[in-house]
Structure 1
Amino acid sequence: MNAKSTSSPAPSGQPADDVRKPRSDGEQSRERLLLAAMRLFGQQGFSKTSTREIAQAAGTNVAAISYYFGDKAGLYQSCFSFMCAEAGGNVAAFDQPHFTLRESLEGYYGQMIAPLLNQKQEADVMLRLFFREMLEPTGLWVAEVENNIKPEHLALTRVLCRHLGLAGATDEVHRLAYAIPALCIQLLISQDVINAITPHMLSTPEAISAWCGRLVDYAEALFNAEKLRLQRKA
């Protein structure tokens, strides 16, 4: 999953509120519609959610949906565009030739947990919409896999091959590249479980950030196991 963060870092020493430009009423209305639609689509699915419900939840009128998005399908597609970052920016965070393996893994997990740090409530809504799309596909999830998830996966295999000394990705490298994000995906989709058992582990930005370091440790262990397997095979 490739959820993006909508917050922008402030210059050093300057509070974020001081550099955030005030949005126009139109921008605020459009964003309220997007957030309301994401929540309702995630809870009820596309077919069972009406434009009237969305407009009411956003505190605006149905005509605003037509104005900004054309129709319900356009609004649904805009929800995914709003949620999903371009793959290139995420890939650049970890696929750099001069990075050590640990630096690449830190960048990889850093972009995955960024929504939890910057907009936790919105991240929960985004995840629910992703799940709903997987259960009741409209075609947007297929596009997300092709346009964003696949490029990130291939970039991760390049990183792994570089540090394993391989010319190209084997099935074992692909398996490793599926296992590494799975560590973080489990965190993202199991927040309800974690909050029920050990709520302090997600209660603060510091607690969430601590996950990144541990995930890097676990991923390094998986990598080292694969490296050892290759050495023994050789």
Structure 2
Amino acid sequence: MIDKSPSRKPRADGEQSRDRLLNAARQLFAAKGFSNTSTREIALGAGANVAAISYYFGDKAGLYREALMDCMPSPEQNIAQYDDPGFTLRQALEGYYQQMLAPMMEGDTADLRLRMWLREVLEPTGIWQNEVDNGIRPEFIALAGVLARHLECPADDEVYRLVHAVAALGAHLMISRDIIAAVTPYLLEGPDALAGWIPRLADYAEAIVAAERNRRTKGTA
């Protein structure tokens, strides 16, 4: 078990060793998946001792979790803001997309992490389900509350459909990253290009929220 007490101060080269393990793990997990990757392979790729995995991460599962989740922003800040009745729809949407796209703003690491996520969906280890239960679902419910408040309606099934549609706008950038890079690579080149998507995604989301408001006003099915 890793000692996380404040008294332990990692060596300067220790942090470099930890980073090398994470980088090697991402490459191997992305290419081969969790089950088909051994700790010996990871240590060899990192130029480190196998025992270093236990020291820094506990075990292979701990290393996998850290390699996949280390840059994922916590949804708690967004959820807390959603509960503020003075938080505008625009603020909610931009905050939502900012958090969603943050992991993509890390160059090659983002690509490896995305491939790990896709493998996790196809070959689940439990990490994905944990993220759904403790991150995605609570933020989904909180965002549904924001949209319902601005639509002046209960958070019904139509609001839930609306949240899924809002999420899909950002998810497309993550899931179809390779396609976007092939068709319009300049739209993904670097953090500035990615950051430019956030206000546009918020614009599109506001438009579909307005369309739902109009539908309800007209009383159409």
8 A Cα contact 1:93 1:108, kept in partner? no
Partner of 1:140: 127
Q: Please report how far the alpha carbon of residue 64 of structure 1 lies from its aligned counterpart in structure 2 after TM superposition.
A: 0.9
Q: Is 2:211 aligned against 1:231?
A: no
TM-score (norm 2): 0.87
2:26 equivalent among 30, 38, 42: 38
| Worse overlay, 33-42 or 221-230 | 33-42
Q: Distance in 2 between matches of 1:81 and 1:212?
A: 22
8 A Cα contact 1:36 1:54, kept in partner? yes
2:150 equivalent among 152, 155, 163: 163
The 1:78/1:207 distance shift into structure 2, 3 A limit, reads: closer
1:113 equivalent among 101, 107, 111: 101
Q: Distance in 1 between matches of 2:11 and 2:156?
A: 49
Amino acid paired to 1:41: F
Q: Is 2:165 aligned against 1:179?
A: yes
Q: Is 2:178 aligned against 1:192?
A: yes
8 A Cα contact 2:17 2:48, kept in partner? yes
Partner of 2:136: 149
Q: Distance in 1 between matches of 2:56 and 2:207?
A: 48
Q: Distance in 1 between matches of 2:132 and 2:71?
A: 14
Aligned pairs, number: 211
Partner of 1:202: 188
1:87 equivalent among 51, 60, 75: 75
The 1:162/1:144 distance shift into structure 2, 3 A limit, reads: same
8 A Cα contact 2:83 2:142, kept in partner? yes
How far does the alpha carbon of each residue in 1:169-206 deviate from its partner, in whole angstroms, 9 at most, with x for none? 10000000111011111011222111111111112433
Q: Distance in 2 between matches of 1:203 and 1:68?
A: 33
Q: Distance in 2 between matches of 1:201 and 1:104?
A: 23
Amino acid paired to 1:213: P
TM-score (norm 1): 0.82
The 1:202/1:84 distance shift into structure 2, 3 A limit, reads: closer
How far does the alpha carbon of each residue in 1:116-160 deviate from its partner, in whole angstroms, 9 at most, with x for none? 33x232222221111111111111111110000101101110110
The 1:204/1:69 distance shift into structure 2, 3 A limit, reads: closer
Q: Is 2:43 aligned against 1:55?
A: yes
Structure 2, unaligned runs of 5 or more: 1-9
CA RMSD of aligned residues (A): 2.1
SS at match of 2:70: helix
